[in-house]
Structure formats: C-alpha cells, structure tokens
Amino acid sequence: MISVAEALERILSLVAVTEEETVPLRSASGRVLARPLAARRTQPPFAASAMDGYAVRAADAQPGVVLSVVGEAQAGGCHDGAVGPGEAVRIFTGAPVPEGADRVVIQEDVTRDGDRITIGDRLDEKTHIRPAGGDFHEGDEVPVQRITPALVSLLAAMNHAEVPVRRRPVVALIATGDELVVPGEIPGPNQIVSSNIYGVAALLEAQGGRARILPIARDTRESLEQSLALAEGADLVVTLGGASVGDHDLVAEVAGARGLALDFYKVRMRPGKPLMAGRLGDAAMVGLPGNPVSAFVCAHLFLRPAVDAALGLPAGPLPRRALPLAHDLAANGSREHYMRARLRGDGLVEVAGRQDSSLLTVLAGADVLAVRPPEDPPRKAGDLVDIVTL
C-alpha cells in the first residue's frame, strides 16, 4: 500500500490541464485565469481628488489665507486651466486635480463667501490627492489565480470585458451497486438511497469542476460498462463503490477491460483504503470506496487538488494546522487516520466518538479532519494534532 502523499502525487500526474476559453466578465467569478492578464489602462488615469473641497497650491494651504475660486472640477469633467498662487478650484471626489494644484483642502476646513474661501485654523496634513497610477499601471499583470469577486472588480477597472479562463474540468461520477436508488425514489426492501455521489459532486463543483452524475451502475459487468461508456469525453472519471474485494466489486475489472492503465490500488489510510487511480483513455480515473464518509474524505484529499491541477492552479496536499486536542486519544493503527472532528470555539479539537465510515450524521457535524500518522502513540488532552479544514 502506498502513502496518502504518494497517492496524491500520482493522481495529480494523471491530470491534464484543460484548454483556455473566453467568458464575459460577469461570468468570470469562481473561474481560473488561464494566463496572466495585463491591465489595459492606468488607474487612476490622472491625479484625482480623494475628497470634496478645493484644489490649491500647497503653499497657500495655511490657516487664515484667503483664496479666490476660479473654477470647478467634478468627476467626469475637469477645470480647463491652472491654479495660480492665491487661487482655488472647487473640486469633487474623483475629479482630475488641475495643473498647478498639489493639495486639496476639504470643504469642512474652509469658509466660503461668494467667490472667496478662507482656510480655517484646524487644517489636516493630507494632500487628499490620489496620484495617477496609484492603484495600477497599464501593463501591470494579474497572475494566474482563482477569480474572486474582488478580482472581478479589478479586472473590470483594467477594462477587461472578457476574461480568458480554463474550461471547467468535466468530472463524470458513477455510483455503483444494486442496493441504490436515487433520492426521491422509494427504495425496495433491501435498498438504500444513493448519497455519497451528491456530496462529492457538490465538493467538485465548489472547487471549479463540472460534475456529471451518470445513471447508477448495477452490479453487473454490462451495467458498469454502459455507465463507463457514458463517461466518454470527461476529463476525470470517478466511480463510487465496487472498489473492494467483494464478489460484486467489479470496477477494476470492468474498467481494466475498457483499457484502464491502473496506477495504484489501495492507500495506507483510514477511511479510504480501497482507493484506486489510473488512466482511462484521455481521462484520469479515480475509483473511490463506496462507504459515504470514505468517498467524501478521499474526494477532499485527492479530487479537490485534482480539479485545481486541471484548472492550471498549483496543486498539492490540503493545508494543515496543528491545534491542541480537547481530550485524550487512543493510539492509532498502521494507516494514516483522517478522523471526523469539530473545532470548538475555545480553539480545541474535539474528535467524534464514532468514526465508522458509514456515518453521514457525524461527517455533516464535522468541520475538520484530525490527521493521525500511522502508529501514532496515545495522545493526551492539550497535545497538538494536525487538522485539515472540511
């Protein structure tokens, strides 16, 4: 069995970066820039007033000085002409600062009488001028990254109406098993509702992928073959269940017959031991274990980074932090254990008492996974444990 770190490396090496496509700026949030994008203009394009007030020469900005108002500049307009000694131009926030002026005195600091202003006694020190290019210059590059709402505003200010992004990788998801029905159906006497595929799909979509949930594959070769055929064209094919050693666990066999070049099977982890991955035609394929928590934990640890890699982002292990335990923990076994846990308000990690990999209530109540290395000795309350955020 290989380690979690090695399994992740191998899965990432199976993933190809998707091609570039162009989307309108309004649809760019959450997508990933396909290449660095250069600003198409300078912002502000001119020295601009940061406040409503009067543009003056700095030397004239002294308490008691009287200046004559020779014009006005508002945002979208400007004052034609310069500001000379003894002169002021009425100015509003965002307007270009006229030539000659190197200071804006805010209107609260002057008294106005007709075309004259008198500078008050309590003058602040600031120029209240935003220099040209103070935010960015034409040609400044935004590096490849996920596009946040704030970045949408920056790209708009840089005058990009369209944005080159990576195509969302298509992930075909196949649940397997005779026992499954889809949510809303009435299960037969020996059946349950298929659940894990929906959480995994949601996780992959939140990461920037496009999840395609295919019909449930029954525990026959023909049914699984049909589902795998429907996965044609996907960037990543993910099966759920049928990965273990049971007589009806057919995924490796049937995918093998369709040309799966298996890279590895089984990882030294808990839950998630019967994980497999390989190359299936042009797609990467990952076989997740069927237990709902195992599937979800593996999707977190392996498929989120895989989607990042397909989007051209730096991809690697999820970030970890070490935090103190709220209570004692027994020794760990020989596999790296990802325990469902909660990060309490007091900053301590409380590991759930029940760790069976079928318990979705426990998973849904957890906000972190506490990571125990193989053969980790018993731990005391207050000892540090690594956590991964869910």
Ligand X SMILES: Nc1nc2c(c(=O)[nH]1)N[C@H]1C(S)=C(S)[C@@H](COP(=O)(O)OP(=O)(O)OC[C@H]3O[C@@H](n4cnc5c(N)ncnc54)[C@H](O)[C@@H]3O)O[C@H]1N2
The Cα–Cα gap between 299 and 276 comes to: 12
CA 25/CA 351 separation, integer angstroms: 43
How many residues sit in the footprint of ligand MOO (CB under 6 A)?
8
**Using the rule CB under 6 A, which residue among 294, 296, 301, 349 binds ligand MOO?**
294
Which of 53, 177, 278, 305: binder of ligand X (CB under 6 A)?
A: 177
Selected from 88, 97, 174, 243, the binder of ligand X by CB under 6 A is 243
Is 270 a residue that touches ligand MOO (CB under 6 A)?
Answer: yes
> Residue 153 in 3-state DSSP?
helix
Nearest approach in angstroms of CB 255 to ligand MOO is 19
Taking the complex as a whole, the smallest distance from the CB of residue 200 to ligand MOO amounts, in Å, to 14
Nearer to ligand MOO, 207 or 294 (CB): 294
Asked if residues 328 and 380 have their Cβ atoms less than 8 Å apart, the reply is yes
Please select the residue that binds ligand X; options are 294, 302, 340, 379, rule is CB under 6 A.
294
| DSSP collapsed to 3 states, 373-387 | CCCCCCECCCCEEEE
Residue 123's alpha-carbon distances to 55, 83, 110, 163, in angstroms, are 14, 20, 9, 45
The binder of ligand MOO chosen from 272, 278, 287, 305 (CB under 6 A): 272
Q: How far is CA 81 from the centre of its chain?
A: 49
Name the minimum Å distance from CB 214 to ligand X.
12
Does 299 bind ligand X (CB under 6 A)? Our answer is: no
Using CB under 6 A, which of 97, 357, 368, 390 touches ligand X? 357
What stretches of 182-312 show up as alpha helix (H) in DSSP? 196-206, 221-230, 251-257, 292-298, 304-310
Yes or no: say if 294 and 308 are a contact pair by the CB < 8 Å rule.
no
Q: Contact between 246 and ligand X (CB under 6 A)?
A: yes
What is the contact surface with ligand MOO in residues (CB under 6 A)?
A: 270-273, 289, 291, 294, 357
